[in-house]
Amino acid sequence: MALILDHVDYVYGGDTELAVHALKDVNLVIPDGQFIGLIGHTGSGKSTLVQHLNGLIKPTGGAIYFNGEDIQDADYDKKKLRSKVGLVFQYPEHQLFEIDVFSDVCFGPKNLGLPRKEVELRAYAALKQVGLEDAFFYQSPFDLSGGQKRRVAIAGVLAMKPDVLILDEPTAGLDPKGRDEILDQIANLHKEMGITVILVSHSMEDVARYVERIIVMNRGSVLYDNVPGEVFKHYRELEQVGLAAPQVTYIMQALRKKGLPVNMEVTTIPEARDEILRVIRA
């Protein structure tokens, strides 16, 4: 079930010579509970794609189905869709506006027309899920550190209880520890609540570490859609479209060239360590 994209096309700029074909014949099936990495260089169409998934952008061709229903149907409830497919934009802390953290997180569920009690329960649960301590709840969101602001913003979307959570570059601008903390938190959400997570990222290392499936976008089309080990085998093609494989792939490649028969499918540091140990001890 879940999300199905059927021959989705998106052209903007009208019928003039300036028209841009941002998405070209995108076909994807996103089943429940997957952890997906969406990669592509700037302008490859990945941001446009995710905005289609919650109905912010209307495709100019093709159809998108959520749980079997066409989201472009005239009587389809867009608001409900947006609560079920949560989208966290890049630098989400730039959307904070309330006087305190808690009220800000309440904004989403309140818009769904839920009773006050339910709104507050959800806000509380969401803030706990992103690991923010109670002491910050009644502070102004603008007084928090960068990493904390980002958590609050993510909680603002989580409070709507989405089935699918899309995060556009959730670690941009954070320091290494901050990056790891946010990503671990997201991985945790995926594991404990079973929600589908789509992680839009530039960092191959991050993607390799967490996701089970990678979708590579290039010039508005899906270039690869596979498990990380398979996708990164195409590291030469990835480089041609302005991307790269994780450094581990290159290390493995270099070792193989020197005659060490390591498996090229490893993509993360622990995997690489075990693989090298296996080969040199053999």
Partner 1 sequence: MLRDITLGQYYQAESVIHKLDPRVKLIATITFIISLFIVDNIAGYLIAAIFLVCVIRLSRVPFRFMIRGMRTIVFLLLITVVFNLFLTPGEPLVSFWKLTITKEGLRSASFMAVRLVFLIIGSSVMTLTTTPNNLTDGMEKLMNPLKFFKVPVHEVAMMMAIALRFIPVLLEETDKIMKAQIARGADFESGNLIKKAKSLVPLLVPLFISAFRRANDLAMAMEARCYRGGEHRTKMKPLQYKRRDAEAYFVLVCYLAVCIGANVYL
Partner 2 sequence: MGNFITMGIIKTEKLVFEYIRRDEEGNVEGITRAVDEVDLDVEPGSFIAILGHNGSGKSTLAKHINAILYPTEGTVWVDGMDTSQEKNLWDVRQSAGMVFQNPDNQIIGQVVEEDVGFGPENMGIPTQQIWERVEESLKAVGMYEFRKHSPNKLSGGQKQRISIAGVIAMHPKCIILDEPTAMLDPNGRKEVVRAVRALNAAEGITVVLITHYMEEIIHADKVFVMDRGKVAMEGTPREIFSQVERLKELRLDVPQVTLLAHELQKSGVNIPNGILTTEELVEALI
- Between residue 234 and residue 263, which ones bind partner 2 under the rule CB under 8 A? 242-244, 246-248, 250-251, 254-255, 258-260
Cα–Cα distance for residue pair 183/66, rounded to 1 Å: 26
Number of residues that bind partner 2 (CB under 8 A): 36
**CA-to-CA separations, 236 to 36, 161, 169, in angstroms, rounded:** 22, 40, 24
* Angle made by CA atoms 248, 275, 207, in degrees to the nearest 5: 35
In angstroms, the CA 189 to CA 81 distance is: 20
**45 makes contact with partner 1 (CB under 8 A):** no
Q: Is 186 in the site for partner 1 (CB under 8 A)?
A: no
Residue from 10, 35, 66, 89 in contact with partner 1 (CB under 8 A): 89
**Interface with partner 2 includes 280 (CB under 8 A)?**
yes
In DSSP terms, 38 is beta-bridged to 200, 215
Alpha carbons 122 and 155: distance in angstroms, whole number: 10
CB 220 within 8 A of CB 23: yes
Min. distance of Cβ 267 from partner 2 in angstroms?
A: 11
Interface ranges with partner 2 (CB under 8 A): 41-42, 145-147, 172-178, 180, 202-203, 205, 242-244, 246-248, 250-251, 254-255, 258-260, 269-270, 272-273, 276-277, 280
Q: Using CB under 8 A as the criterion, which residues of the chain lie in contact with partner 1 when the complex forms?
A: 12-13, 18, 51, 54, 56, 79, 82-83, 86-87, 89, 92, 94-97, 107-108, 111-112, 142, 156-157, 160
